[in-house]
Chain A
Amino acid sequence: GAVVSQHPSWVICKSGTSVKIECRSLDFQATTMFWYRQFPKQSLMLMATSNEGSKATYEQGVEKDKFLINHASLTLSTLTVTSAHPEDSSFYICSASDKVYEQYFGPGTRLTVT
């Protein structure tokens, strides 16, 4: 149980375009979903926390107009990177939670902006 999927696993896009990444909890209802970004050889940086049906809470320094997060249902959250630039290239990981202390991570999405 507790499986979280992400789609796509790898995406290449041109600078200036937008990319949408999906995060799904497959066998449980996630009241909270988290989006992280990981740079090479660095830690997971929390970008935002989203609760179903409400606006996401962004961490300090994360541009909410650039990284649009939608948590439309208890099993789906999406992250849209708008007007992507090469510096947005990174590994994006989502996690889903239905209990405070439990968090299940997706496999991640590698974004490359050319």
Chain B
Amino acid sequence: DQQVKQNSPSLSVQEGRISILNCDYTNSMFDYFLWYKKYPAEGPTFLISISSIKDKNEDGRFTVFLNKSAKHLSLHIVPSQPGDSAVYFCAAMSTNAGKSTFGDGTTLTVKP
């Protein structure tokens, strides 16, 4: 059973518009959520995170929203830039377990 799901394998948006990447989870023990960006043949790099006690966290162009009741989080990128084109992974962890569970990733393409 996949505990973290990113149902959209790919997303294409125009430069300057908003990109919204979605992630759903099933394990109610998860209390911390992270988004990573990954280029081909490279390791993921941390983007932004959110604790389960919050419903929003913002860092520059990136905002993560958490809806605990729906077990859903989303990453908003605005405005989107061509350099944002990459694979985005959602990850969830429970503090006690100390390890992250990753979704399958969403490939974002930002067109100039």
Contact = CB atoms under 8 A, between A and B. Distances in A.
Interface of A: 4, 6, 32, 34, 41-44, 46, 49, 91, 93, 95, 100-108, 110
Contacts of A44: 44, 89, 102
Range, interface on chain B? 20 to 34
Q: Which of A4, A101, A102 has the most CB of B within 10 A?
A: A101
Interface in B22-45: 32, 34, 36, 41-45
B42 A108 contact: yes
**Across chains A and B, which 10 residue pairs bring their CB atoms closest together, nearest first?**
A105-B43, A43-B104, A44-B102, A43-B102, A105-B44, A107-B43, A93-B43, A106-B43, A108-B43, A107-B42
Max chain A C-beta neighbours (<10 A), residue from B32, B44, B89, B102 = B44
Interface of B: 9, 32, 34, 36, 41-46, 49, 89, 93, 95, 98-105
Given A32-B98, A41-B9, A105-B44, 14 more contacts: A6-B43, A34-B99, A43-B104, A43-B105, A44-B89, A46-B100, A46-B101, A46-B102, A49-B98, A93-B44, A95-B43, A103-B100, A108-B42, A108-B43
**Secondary structure of the A side of the interface?**
strand
B49, B89, B98, B99 — which one has the most chain A CB atoms within 10 A of its CB?
B99
A101 B32 contact: yes
A102 B105 CA distance: 19
A91 B41 contact: yes
B66 to A, nearest CB: 15
